[in-house]
Amino acid sequence: MKILLVEDSERLRRSIGLGLKEDGHTIDTAGDGEEGLSFAETYHYDVIILDLMLPKMDGLSVLQALRRGGRQTHILILSAREETETRVRGLDLGADDYMVKPFSFDELKARMRALHRRGSGQKDPCISAGALTVDTNARAVRADGADTGLSAREYELLEYLVRRKNRVFPQQTLIENLYESDNEVASNVIEALVYSIRRKLSKHGVSSPIRNRRGQGYFVE
């Protein structure tokens, strides 16, 4: 997933961001509400993790601005405020979930996975793609039960396309969704990932489900 973390605590922002990156996700971070809103209005995210007690603009105001602006990104509030009225207000303003600090990191990851499945209409964590099985919990791609050995970035590209079957994505769109917004990457990075995926899958006697529509981009049927 591509995730936006809006959290004013530098220590917590660093620890959550590092943990999610190690889990294979792409993370942008913001330290105040105004910066978070700017990121959320500029880029596409699968999930936004939003603190409430933020400088410059509080989290509920960020949430309200995004929903009023038509943004449908899944938003998970992560806050030390545990009173019922605040939880109810956050959910009524359009948050998809609410967690109270201190929290379990494993539970945070599980809730994000559940939100992501909800967004794609996918209840089962395992998705079929031809002869392949994409296990979104284990972050693994298997052929006849055997792990295909895809790298983290190769897995991310394949999962992104499998979740959005029959939709064609230009290389630049894929780059924006697989890499942090401030990263500079080579223009042919997607082409290189697709080639590597095809090569690894062929070793298992399986053809890659990724197709290229010339001049338009990549897709999975």
Question: What CATH number has the domain bearing residue 164?
Answer: 1.10.10.10
Residue 55 has, within 13 A of its CA and on its CB side, a CA count of 7
Task: Show the low-confidence residues of the chain (pLDDT under 50).
Answer: none
pLDDT tens digits along 160-192: 898 888 889 999 888 888 887 766 778 889 999
Residues 138, 146 contacting (CB under 8 angstroms): no
**15 and 104 both lie in a single domain:** yes
pLDDT score recorded for residue 165: 86
Q: What is the pTM of this model?
A: 0.66
Question: Using only C-alpha atoms, what is the Rg of the chain?
Answer: 18
pLDDT score recorded for residue 37: 95
**21 and 67 both lie in a single domain:** yes
Cα separation of 21 and 79, whole Å?
A: 21
pLDDT score recorded for residue 125: 72
- The enclosing domain of 23 has a CATH number of 3.40.50.2300
**67 and 135 both lie in a single domain:** no
Cα separation of 73 and 116, whole Å?
A: 10
Helix, strand, or coil (residue 3): strand
Cα angle 65, 67, 69 (rounded to 5 degrees) comes to 65
**114 and 146 both lie in a single domain:** no
Examine the fold and report which residue of 120, 153, 172 is the final residue of a domain before the chain moves on.
120
pLDDT score recorded for residue 40: 93
**46 and 93 both lie in a single domain:** yes
Q: Which residue range(s) make up the domain with 59?
A: 2-120
**How many independent structural domains does the chain possess?**
2
pLDDT score recorded for residue 187: 81
pLDDT score recorded for residue 186: 83
| 129 DSSP β-pair partners | 132
**98 and 204 both lie in a single domain:** no
pLDDT score recorded for residue 124: 62
